Structure 1
């Protein structure tokens, strides 16, 4: 299979289809590498900082430990402690703090978790879109290539198997290219969504326990 023949004999539509699929493939693998590395780093950071926080002898020590590791749990810990201190300082002169400490902390921790987990959703829409559309783009290129191959064959008057099989075979490459682009995108999307879900579950469990810890902490 010589892809060079596709670009030599194909028209601008078929060439555009292949170039679009190449661009989709580049985007797919870029998102896969960047997001997989980011997710792995976040999970390793959480695994490292979680025992450090729970083994701390005081809240101030837990804060210092959280500052040493960059992870979503560290960010939530620092945001929760800052929210607690802000409530103590401004509960009498700010409408945002005019609620019980329990509800205030729940709101602030939930907002912090949403902000920190949102960064892991980048690129998932692109993967889902590529996985859904790439096969159809490839199929469009195949249909277009077969149509023009048959037109050219009918005009030349050559109806042999060799004359038909060559151009049609090259046009079918577009469908294979579409599947080649779509399959990694779909698999990566499912993998990353599952990874984000487990990360969110771990964060939710930690946030719940740390919220209780803050409520029962005595200065």
Structure 2
């Protein structure tokens, strides 16, 4: 059945159901395309930065490279270097006495890691909501179409094909439309969750290595060199 005919012959309730499903589908595909492109760009920048970071001669050069990249790992490196610089600037005051360098770096790197992970999850709530709600919206349209079929039978006193064909057809199309909106959203959501999980594991490992390196640099008293390298 042609969807345009359903929209033309259906009542306002059924038209609203199809309109809502179409809107949800359009937004979902926009999110899917945007997130796919973002993941591709981030992965490319991440691989490039990680390769250059670990090939650097020393931490001074490695942290300096963080200023030239937009990868999440580069943001972590910049945050860690800034935390070390800030700690050493206030080492003789209340900050140095209140918390150790180890704890200070862990707290700041953990906060930055959470922020970078949150960026990767943008848009996933919409996909999860669409995948969960769209089938029920389609089911509502199905129930509404069956209701009209029953009303038609009661009005005409006949259960002929001409009486029930249109509303039953609209009901079936509503069910199919709900599934057509939900299935791509669910598939994309699961794919993004898997990709984000692997990315988070990689970033978490980098954070541990970064923390260890910055801690050694700080304890050796080279924090000023590190901070100069990232300005």
TM-score of the superposition, structure 2-length normalised? 0.89
SS at match of 1:119: helix
Q: Do the aligned residues in 2 keep the contact of 1:138 with 1:176 (CA within 8 Å)?
A: yes
Aligned-pair CA distance for 1:158 = 4.4
Aligned-pair CA distance for 1:27 = 1.3
Instruction: Report the equivalent of 1:17.
Output: 17
Asked if residue 37 in structure 1 is aligned to residue 37 in structure 2, the reply is: yes
Q: Tell me: CA distance 1:15–1:99, structure 2 relative to 1, closer, same or farther (3 Å).
A: same
Q: Do the aligned residues in 1 keep the contact of 2:32 with 2:188 (CA within 8 Å)?
A: yes
Aligned-pair CA distance for 1:46 = 1.3
Q: Pick which of 85-94 and 199-208 moved more.
A: 85-94
Instruction: Report the equivalent of 1:53.
Output: 53
Q: Deviations over 1:53-79 (max 9, x none)?
A: 111112231122122221100000011
Asked if residue 204 in structure 1 is aligned to residue 204 in structure 2, the reply is: yes
Q: How does 1:16-165 map to 2 (within 5 A)?
A: 16-95=16-95, 98-165=98-165
RMSD between superposed Cα atoms in Å:
1.6
Q: Deviations over 1:134-188 (max 9, x none)?
A: 0010011011012112312432344322432333112210000000000011111
SS at match of 2:120: coil
Q: Tell me: CA distance 1:97–1:10, structure 2 relative to 1, closer, same or farther (3 Å).
A: farther
Instruction: Report the equivalent of 1:171.
Output: 171
Ranges in structure 1 where 5+ consecutive residues have no aligned partner: none
For 1:116 and 1:85, locate their aligned partners in 2 and report how far apart those are by CA, in whole Å.
21
Q: Pick which of 129-138 and 28-37 moved more.
A: 28-37
For 2:96 and 2:189, locate their aligned partners in 1 and report how far apart those are by CA, in whole Å.
38
Q: Do the aligned residues in 1 keep the contact of 2:21 with 2:178 (CA within 8 Å)?
A: yes
For 2:129 and 2:201, locate their aligned partners in 1 and report how far apart those are by CA, in whole Å.
26
For 2:153 and 2:97, locate their aligned partners in 1 and report how far apart those are by CA, in whole Å.
78
Aligned-pair CA distance for 1:91 = 2.0
Q: Do the aligned residues in 2 keep the contact of 1:92 with 1:98 (CA within 8 Å)?
A: no
Aligned-pair CA distance for 1:94 = 4.0
For 1:159 and 1:215, locate their aligned partners in 2 and report how far apart those are by CA, in whole Å.
80
Q: Pick which of 171-180 and 95-104 moved more.
A: 95-104
Q: Deviations over 1:24-73 (max 9, x none)?
A: 10111111111121122222211110121111112231122122221100
Q: Tell me: CA distance 1:12–1:96, structure 2 relative to 1, closer, same or farther (3 Å).
A: farther
